[in-house]
Chains A and B, each alone.
Chain A
Amino acid sequence: MKEYFVKYMLMAFALSSLFFLFLIFIFILFEGLPLFHKAGLKHIILGSKWAPTKGSFGIFPMIISSFLVTFGALIIGGPMGLSCAIYLSEYSGKRMKMFLKPALELLAGIPSVVYGFLGVVYIVPLVRDYFGGPGFSLLSTSLILGVMILPTVISISFDALMSVPKTYREGSLAMGATKWQTIYKVVVPSAKSGILASFILGMGRAIGETMAVIMVAGNALRTPLSILDPLRTLTSNIALELAYASGDHRLGLFSTGVVLLIIIMILNYIANFGIKKGS
């Protein structure tokens, strides 16, 4: 009797995650989709003018900007994260690992607002002085996001590298390959899908980041034409205007949310699918 009660209660708990996911989808879609109907899919997705109080809901520049900062982050954080993961799994001794791994994971604990703030105070002026432009830019944003995705890239790549069987390495070393040749030709290719997944999850993290981006991106409503131009991402658009938006303006922000949600779900799906193929 009690056993059954417990079992069904736990089942209800387990179903709650699905229920929450469902609620999130329903409410964001419910608020966001009507405008697609009213203003037109093409107008929103491909329109380049965002003036929501005057009936223009184009978020094309923001979609582009979101992808640009994401790729920027990947270009910076991807190789760096992978190098750290390789160092941790292949080169560092046990004690070094015990120190480095938690230290690197602590980077994930630094709140995004702190990254954004330090970006404004240090990175933005640096970019302005050395490269020109306003400093609030694609470049600054990519630098900040590149660092922010490091923990994701490192920990998932590391797991993938660690799961490559020892015998692969021994086999290659026995054939006379150097350590680096072994890593480059045997270990990394074997861990390929996990490493790919770490990049994609890192992209998911970058494209979803909000507060840090608001602070360093400049939030201009134009498609950036150079890495020194300011830009506005999907996430910043929501966060900048949600507090005071009403009517169609608010619906426009939910439409922005719908686009973001779809991109995120696709990235997550690819990442999880990639990991499964690997293991």
Chain B
Amino acid sequence: MRIKPRIVDVFVRISLNLQAFFTVGILAVIVAIIFIKGSPYINLEFIISSPQDMGRHGGIFSTIVGTILLVLLSIFLATPLGVGTAIFLTEYTKESVFTKVIRFGVESLAGIPSILFGLFGFIFFVTKLKMGWSLLAGVLTTTIMILPTIIRTSEEAIKAVPRSLRIVSYSLSATKWETVKKVVLPSAAPGILTGVMLSVGRAVGETAAIIFTMGSSLRMPLSLMDSGRTMAVHFYILAREGISMENAYATALILVLSILSINILAYYIMNRVISKFS
């Protein structure tokens, strides 16, 4: 018997609907579990005291500091490099073999999994350049890892700036760099910021690339050459070695909440930009 196309249509509509909400449901469930299991153990003490006894007791303060240092320094290096690359690709060249090669490099870098960044950082920064497990080695590895995201989002943001603004700027006697600095970058800034924040989110949640470069010392990193531990690495060790389920959930909650809020803010900024241009 042939089923009527109309009935199929209704059936498909309902099942796709369920499918989409099921997927969002996964996100909701993940966040809910982490929240329910983690929130009882979170208090000010947990945040401002450093881990003791491998993290079995105490809080996560030194790992928060480690995360912030790693992320800020990486962003500090990757942003000029990434935005500069995007400016070069969009403003200073016409599409050519040369730009294709650079784009190929960026795309390839974007596809490399974190563990290979970890492997590379371990052999190059930690071993060959003798940095040891250190904040510096972690920062340099993370910088390379987040660079493609910053380049891509900056390029999109710069391309969205209307050509007419550039023409006006030139006609008012600005040079190319003056135009980039005074007209293009300010207009593209929110889009660039979105990319930077998405990269922050990625770096905060990263483990594989960081554990083999920055190491996992629980002491507070006080110099670039000190090893240190980020929240994500701390959570991984707590969970994998079964050190403390309570502290693992609590760490996961802080980790997930910070990443989600960074990402939500990023999407918020992006949406405002989209509605501004359309």
Interface residues of A (CB under 8 A from B): 2-3, 6-7, 9-11, 13-18, 20-21, 23-24, 27-28, 31, 80, 83-84, 86-88, 91-92, 98, 100, 102-107, 109-118, 120, 122, 147, 150, 154, 178-181, 201, 204-205, 207-211, 214-215, 235, 238-239, 242-243, 253-254, 257, 260-261, 264-265, 267-268, 271-272
Measured between alpha carbons, how far is A28 from B127 in the docked complex, in Å? 13
Q: Which of B49-57, B77-85, B160-168, B221-229 contacts A (4 or more CB under 8 A)?
A: B77-85
B118 contact set on A, CB distance < 8 A: 238-239, 242
10 contacts between A and B (CB under 8 A): A13-B81, A16-B85, A20-B147, A24-B109, A84-B19, A98-B271, A103-B24, A111-B205, A178-B5, A181-B9
Report yes or no: B267 in contact with A17, Cβ–Cβ below 8 A.
no
**Interface secondary structure of A, over-half rule:** helix
Report yes or no: A16 in contact with B239, Cβ–Cβ below 8 A.
no
Report yes or no: A253 in contact with B20, Cβ–Cβ below 8 A.
no
Report yes or no: B239 in contact with A120, Cβ–Cβ below 8 A.
yes
Q: Which of A100, A147, A210 contacts B208 (CB 8 A)?
A: A210
B105 contact set on A, CB distance < 8 A: 17-18, 21
B36 located at the interface, meaning its Cβ lies under 8 Å from any Cβ of chain A in the complex = no
B side interface size, CB within 8 A: 78
Report yes or no: B87 in contact with A239, Cβ–Cβ below 8 A.
no
Which B residue sits closest to A81, measured CB to CB?
Answer: B23
B248 contact set on A, CB distance < 8 A: 117
Which A residue sits closest to B117, measured CB to CB?
Answer: A24
Measured between alpha carbons, how far is A239 from B236 in the docked complex, in Å? 12
Measured between alpha carbons, how far is A264 from B108 in the docked complex, in Å? 9
**Contact A114:B27 (CB < 8 A) given known A6-B177, A211-B207, A260-B116:** no
Given contacts A87-B20, A117-B235, 16 further A-B contacts (CB under 8 A): A13-B84, A17-B109, A17-B147, A20-B109, A20-B147, A23-B124, A87-B19, A114-B205, A114-B252, A116-B239, A122-B33, A210-B207, A238-B119, A239-B212, A243-B211, A268-B108
Report yes or no: B232 in contact with A111, Cβ–Cβ below 8 A.
yes
**Contact A106:B260 (CB < 8 A) given known A10-B92, A27-B124:** yes
Report yes or no: B92 in contact with A261, Cβ–Cβ below 8 A.
no
Report yes or no: A14 in contact with B85, Cβ–Cβ below 8 A.
yes
